[in-house]
Amino acid sequence: MRGFWPIFKRELFAFFVTPLAWVLLTVFLLVQGAHFFLLVDHLSTVTADAGDQTPLEAFFGDTVVLYLVLFLLVPPMTMRLFAEERRSGTIETLMTAPVSVPAVVLAKYAAALVTYIAMWLPTVLYVLILARTGGIDLHAAAASYLGVIVVGAGYLAIGLFMSALTRSQFLALLGTALVVLLLFLVGMGEFVTRDGTTLHDVCVHLSVWSTMTEMARGVVDSRRLVWGATLIVLPLFGTVRVVDAWAWG
């Protein structure tokens, strides 16, 4: 893992000095803040039809806004990681430095993941607000954030792989968006396939909607974590192979 820390710090610094990062952060917090406010306001006025649903369950599991945010956030975060270096020619300098290919890939991925987690940190204030105004299931809150991190980490790994395949940031963004959308649509097949069939079971297993719904209720299924880990490891392995191919010309 030679060269991991220098590359990690460089990528982390490079992300936060670009206007795109602050635009994404601002839009993300505005959308999530408005989303949280509207959910709490709605649940505070609807009593009979709300059932036992909590604001955390609605915020993390039973709304399309969360997935729309991930769909719009991850592709721009990862599109430049390798594509820009290939376009500008700096990748040759990087690959001739005394660093290992896995270190380069993991450093770039870790920088994107840390940035992603940092974007979610301000939303912890929502949990604190709920805790001060009423009872809250801290286990469910922790599970919800674990789900957000696992799902986001998988999407980031896909984005890194797409960025490694092309010199164009736009194509990397488009490729990541299409793959993420495809995975989401496959998971939504649980609502249109017949219960008890193999296809339905596959859709449920791959469904990010079911994953977040369960975790928002405090249910942490090891099968969900295994699928999330697979969604991280496979794209990262593919990225290492692609970058390794560059190193050997």
How many Å apart are CA 230 and CA 233, to the nearest integer?
5
Q: DSSP string of 89-146?
A: THHHHHHHSS--HHHHHHHHHHHHHHHHHHHHGGGHHHHHHHHHHS---HHHHHHHHH
Does the pLDDT of residue 32 top 60, yes or no?
yes
All structural domains of the chain with their residue ranges: 4-46+54-247
| Rg of the chain (C-alpha set) | 19
> 150-192 pLDDT, tens per residue?
999 999 999 999 999 988 999 999 999 999 999 999 888 888 8
Closest CA to 81 of 145, 136, 8, 179: 8
How many Å apart are CA 234 and CA 158, to the nearest integer?
9
Does the pLDDT of residue 48 top 50, yes or no?
no
Region 212-228: what's the mean pLDDT?
A: 89
Residue 248 has which token pair?
A: 């050997």
How many Å apart are CA 203 and CA 221, to the nearest integer?
16
Quick check: pTM over 0.85? yes
How many Å apart are CA 159 and CA 172, to the nearest integer?
7
Place of tokens 């791959």: 206
